[in-house]
Amino acid sequence: MTPVSTLQIFLFCILGVNPIFSFSPLDTRYTKKKKNHVSLSATASNKSNNKEHSPYLQDMKNKRAYPQQTPHAGRHFRPSHPHHAPSKLSQRFNRLKRHPQRTKTKRFMEGWYYRLTIPESNVSFAFIFSIEDPFESELSLSCVQVMGPNDEYVVQAEPSHEKFWAFAHSQSFGCVFDYDKDAMIASSKIEKDDVLEVLDPDDFEKYVKAGFQMLPTRLQGKVKGHDGSLGGVLENQGIPRTCDFDVQITPLSGWGDDDQDLEKSRQKSTAGWLASYSVFEPHWQVTLADARATGYATWNGTRYDFENVPFYAEKNWGGSFPSKWYWVQCNSFQGFTSQDGSNRLSLTAGGGIRKVPFGGTEDLGMVCIHYNGVFYEAVPWTGDMEWEVDPWGSWKFSAKCTSGKRLFEVDVVATCEEDGVVLRAPTQDLGMVYFCRDSFFANVELSLYELDWDKDKKEYVRGHAILENVKSIERTGAVEIGGGPYWNPWKGKSKMKSFLKSLVKLPYLFGK
């Protein structure tokens, strides 16, 4: 057990958070394996390409998979997959843990979002994976959703949670819905009652019929689902659709300044260091603000091959999504999509209404930019942010960072003429239902300026233009609204509670 600090006691007494027993991606207790679990990493030891994949087929406790790996890359939920069966000692400690999965009345979900853009063909794909209530519940669900060309959609899901596995320390997870069991038994890969976990990528391709797997820099999937047009996510709830994909990922920017030295790279939590505790609801982490992807995606029989195209990744976890939110993302700006990543620009902007301790809520927004390895972070605890979001079609943001080593101002305008597609998201009472609208056909424009202190006005004023009126490649930006209601334009300004703002700013005061 880690020593108890004054901060830990404070968080427990004031915020109702128990950082000693609270679950985190650094949890190492779930290591006991049952007989009916199999990982194919060992069986691939004689393969010629195993050296390339073997580092990612195990959960690396004290080593990042790549320099840009962010906090919260690992899982937060407690899998019921046989691999994660706790020992008797762990079960006793679990009784002391303050964790949402201890009661059946408290919902819990964790979801991952990956987006790749093929600028030359004006095509984007989004791969969305989620686990809901990873314990016995009427709303338990393992799900994959894919947005494809022309804002089309496919979903596949099972009302179970036992097949979903995830690593605690790296962004590795997966779920196999169906596979060639006879062939695997005949090849001595598995025994009769084995439950699959992490697979060598070649074995995934060979044996899996339906499912998905994410390794830190390799994303694979075979989705045999439907378009959800009959209302549900389970089988036979829409017109059949398919999507197979295999994507190799080269990380460029995590969430912070770039540094290829593992010892020097210090990536940040998107929501601040308090995201390590059960303070806010839900939690959000951008895991790859910018990357390059190479591979293919086959959409209903049409194959799209791509090489070194823009790639983005984020995740959420908690009870459910916010009651209302907005989001804009783009890393396909004109002149900033070099395949080697030497000249790059990525924008992530979003906000909404989140829950805070003692039953309250707060309206927050942020605009963050990664520009050639430099991170510009305009968040509620370092400055101000204002937004105006229409019910659909227009997103306008203005933000200033007046605290920290980089003082700047940023303006963002995103517009979308397409209708977009309605997506499902985890909700508190109904589980996975239609709850947000997305499109990959937005146009995005941004400007970034330095801030200078005006002694006469005694305020910060706009100075040198770092980037001015930079536009996305035509119709390649991603936009979203969620929750609601959205009857009228939503105008707002970040209003973080002063008490929490002071807490989140602590690392900035000490230069961390």
Tell me the domain boundaries of the chain.
6-509
Pairwise CA distance, residues 431 & 140, whole Å? 8
Helix count (H) and strand count (E) of the chain? 7, 25
| Average pLDDT rounded to a whole number, residues 43-52 | 40
- Tens digit of each residue's pLDDT (9 = 90 or more) over 134-151: 887 888 999 999 999 999
Confidence band of 260 (pLDDT split at 50, 70, 90):
low
pLDDT for 341? 87
SS3 of 89, please?
Answer: helix
Sign of torsion, CA 489 490 493 494? Answer: negative
| Average pLDDT rounded to a whole number, residues 322-342 | 94
| Average pLDDT rounded to a whole number, residues 68-87 | 82
- 8 A C-beta contact, residue 351 and residue 364: yes
Confidence band of 5 (pLDDT split at 50, 70, 90):
very low
User: Does 273 have pLDDT greater than 60?
Assistant: yes
Q: Alpha-carbon Rg of the chain, whole angstroms? A: 22
pLDDT for 278? 65
- 8 A C-beta contact, residue 174 and residue 198: yes
User: Does 39 have pLDDT greater than 90?
Assistant: no
Residue burial 206-227, b: 16+ Cβ < 10 Å; e: rest? ebbebbbbbbbbbbbbbbbbbb
Strand partners, 414: 395, 444
Higher pLDDT, 231 or 469: 469
- 8 A C-beta contact, residue 225 and residue 241: yes
| Average pLDDT rounded to a whole number, residues 420-447 | 92
- Tens digit of each residue's pLDDT (9 = 90 or more) over 177-204: 999 999 999 988 888 777 788 999 999 9
The residue with tokens 């204002």 is: 386
pTM attached to this predicted model:
0.87
The residue with tokens 């239609």 is: 434
SS3 of 489, please?
Answer: coil
Lowest-pLDDT choice from 43-57, 67-81, 365-379, 408-422: 43-57
Confidence band of 54 (pLDDT split at 50, 70, 90):
low
Question: Running DSSP on this structure, what letter comes out for residue 134?
Answer: S
pLDDT for 87? 61
- Which residue in 254, 198, 281 sits closest to 377, CA to CA? 254
pLDDT for 295? 99
- Tens digit of each residue's pLDDT (9 = 90 or more) over 85-124: 666 566 555 544 444 444 444 788 899 999 999 999 999 9
Strands 324-330 and 477-483: antiparallel
User: Does 19 have pLDDT greater than 50?
Assistant: no
Around Cβ 86, how many Cβ atoms within 10 Å?
Answer: 15
